[in-house]
Structure 1
Amino acid sequence: MTARLRLAWLAAVLLAAHSLAAQQLQKITINFPTRSGASWPMWIAKEGGYYQKYGYDANVVFGAHPAGIAMIVSGEAAMTNYSMEQALQASSKDGSLVMVGSSLNKGLFALMVAKGINSAKELKDKRFAVSQIGDAPYNYAIALLGKFGLSSRDVQWVPVGTDATGRAAALMGGRAEATLLTAPQYFKVEEAGYKSVANMADYNDVFASTVYLFKKSSVAANPKLAENLIKAHAEAIKRFYDDKAFAVKAYLAYDKQDPADVERIYDLQVKSAALERIPYVLAGAVKSILNQADSEAATRIRDFDFHTVIDNSIVDRLVKEGYFEKLFGPGVKADEDRKAKAAFR
């Protein structure tokens, strides 16, 4: 066999092997509903090859609420990493959904105030910009204001109908004296001379949780689906904590921000240990949302039995099998025990 023929034969073998591997990957779509640090596990799982490791050719796509819920219900997406508030609301209306894990319980939401205001307590009777009444940041704002003795009735809510950019514009344009902003939006507002008087990340009992949301029928038809995606995200979270440069690179692939801002977001999330190594859905997170719902007559979730749509059994089994200890090392055992006790049961 001539050298040219040998090269051609080798190329054909490699091409066939690549094609076979590609054929064996299952194509799935995964939704991320926010361009923020909450989506880091999905971005790293995609860019780091962790979905591929578990047999999936994953198309990771953005779609703000309610697009993610619609994608799950229709079967277009296999999973979304959704705000727990919105997932609980949707699940109370549609029992076909199930939450099997949670990668985040703390959010980098800063309470930004107008110039001249020095404390959250000074917000009584002031205007507070929100995207819409009843959405997740609105509920976060109520929980955070409660830390300063204020209720939802103590401020004037100003719905702006858009995202954090619109809320920031309302504050800086004088249409509101306060708003809740995520990083990196609040970095820019700080640079303009506005003050942060509180941050949700500093309160362990103020939750900004996300959940891995699936359709029950999809999990039943493919029993390994939820387990494999939990593992892919756990390994992505380990990569997050181990490899800052790669984490920043993965973020920038989906959200074109100033790299310095992304590095700052990374440092803040690492400092608060925001991404969960042991991804239980926590009872405290569910309780906090139900407590907020009790004060809002329009909600329908307070009387719903969420045991029918929250399933921690997969994480329980992975803990029992030693998966997380093998991944993160024996030092994670204390976190396992603590989270297992705090899990929703």
Structure 2
Amino acid sequence: MSMRWILGAASAVTLLAAGSAAAQDKIVLGMSGWTGFAPLSLAAEAGLFKKHGVDVEIKFIPQKERHLTVAAGATQAVATTVDTFISYSAAGIPLTQVLLLDKSNGGDGLAVRSSINSVKELKGKTIAVDGAGTTPYFTLMAMLKRNGMGPKDVQFATLAPNPAAQAFVAGQFDAAVTYEPYLSSIRNAPNAGKILLTTLDVPVVVDMVAFQPDFIKKNPKIVQGVVNGFFDALEMIKKEPEKSYEIMGSKVKQTGEQFAGSAKFIAWQDKAANQAYFKGDLQKFMKEAAEIQLEAGVIKSVPNLDAMVDASFVK
């Protein structure tokens, strides 16, 4: 038996293995450690996506870079907020939202020093917040706008959500904007300050999953599998809460009990909630979010909002 034959056979086996892997419809989904996204991690870890024929690999990717990974082909799906998808599309990388994940129910907030009692008192002060185009920045812009202020009225220390919370707890800066599970580190820190506003006061954080339009056309079964896997994860949380919280918490270095605490500030959205939201509320909020971003200079023009929505996978 010649060495050439052996090498040729080995190559054939490698090709067959690659083809088999491709047949499993593997995709990569980019997101963060935000508590609202956690059912996606649960679906991946518990085999719920695979039950629907999709092997989903979850990767934590900074919010400002997720759309770039899609454009480069490194990821096929992205989880982030409605406002962020608008900024992605305005930047020339269109993504179509197919699934409503959650609404922040106090899970995003503005923390301030104890001596500060209103948003207007932040004028001229320094706020630790992630960069323009991210959810914390958008949340801050919405809070400022509702109090007759804008980005020119405050100073910025650009920090990602976790470092922003850590810096604030350590006594740095006048205020910070972050989200769960990091917001709870401020809630639970003695003498760090106080939470002035959350998304209970300013409900502007809504999370979705999106794919590029062309990917949706070519791979509707994959998209449907991701949507169905998420809904299965919500059912698992209802039936096996302790096990589910342990799995989800482990991905963000929390115990199940700690994760359950963070989850109190999140409202995950089931199929019925998805169907209702896609009927008009999503479109209405997108218009409001685009106006806030336009005024804040985050986007230069409003993209085609209608092209950013596909409700067919939640019917």
Give TM-score, length-normalised by structure 2: 0.80
Give 1:1-345 correspondences, 5 Å limit: 26-94=24-92, 96-106=94-104, 108-147=107-146, 149-153=147-151, 155-160=153-158, 162-172=159-169, 174-190=171-187, 191-193=189-191, 194-200=193-199, 202-203=200-201, 206-269=203-266, 273-277=267-271, 278-279=273-274, 280-281=277-278, 282-302=282-302, 304-315=303-314, 318=315
Q: Residue type matched to 2:310 in 1?
A: D
The alpha carbon displacement at 1:214 in A equals 0.7
The alpha carbon displacement at 1:84 in A equals 2.2
Q: Would the aligned equivalents of 2:141 and 2:296 in 1 still touch at CA under 8 Å?
A: no
SS at match of 1:252: helix
> Quick one: distance in 1 between partners of 2:166 and 2:249?
24
Q: Would the aligned equivalents of 1:100 and 1:311 in 2 still touch at CA under 8 Å?
A: yes
Gap change, CA 1:150 and 1:78, over 3 Å in 2: same
Q: Who is 2:10 aligned against?
A: none
> Quick one: distance in 2 between partners of 1:154 and 1:66?
22
The alpha carbon displacement at 1:173 in A equals 5.0
Gap change, CA 1:298 and 1:173, over 3 Å in 2: same
Q: Would the aligned equivalents of 2:64 and 2:134 in 1 still touch at CA under 8 Å?
A: no
Q: Would the aligned equivalents of 2:150 and 2:296 in 1 still touch at CA under 8 Å?
A: no
Q: Would the aligned equivalents of 2:98 and 2:310 in 1 still touch at CA under 8 Å?
A: yes
SS at match of 1:220: helix
Q: Would the aligned equivalents of 1:88 and 1:301 in 2 still touch at CA under 8 Å?
A: no
The alpha carbon displacement at 1:25 in A equals 5.9
Q: Residue type matched to 2:80 in 1?
A: Y
SS at match of 1:105: strand
The alpha carbon displacement at 1:85 in A equals 2.2
> Quick one: distance in 2 between partners of 1:103 and 1:56?
18
Q: Who is 1:323 aligned against?
A: none
Q: Residue type matched to 2:99 in 1?
A: G
RMSD: 2.7
Q: Deviations over 1:25-78 (max 9, x none)?
A: 614233232112122121121122210110122222222234422332233323
> Quick one: distance in 2 between partners of 1:59 and 1:132?
26
Quote the sequence identity (%).
17
> Quick one: distance in 1 between partners of 2:288 and 2:125?
25
Q: Would the aligned equivalents of 1:128 and 1:155 in 2 still touch at CA under 8 Å?
A: no
> Quick one: distance in 1 between partners of 2:118 and 2:93?
42
Give 5+ residue unaligned stretches, structure 2.
1-16
SS at match of 1:128: strand
Q: Who is 1:5 aligned against?
A: none
Gap change, CA 1:196 and 1:94, over 3 Å in 2: same
SS at match of 1:103: strand
SS at match of 1:68: helix
Gap change, CA 1:181 and 1:23, over 3 Å in 2: closer
Gap change, CA 1:240 and 1:157, over 3 Å in 2: farther
Q: Deviations over 1:269-305 (max 9, x none)?
A: 2xxx343443345123312311212312351242x22
Give TM-score, length-normalised by structure 1: 0.74
The alpha carbon displacement at 1:124 in A equals 3.5
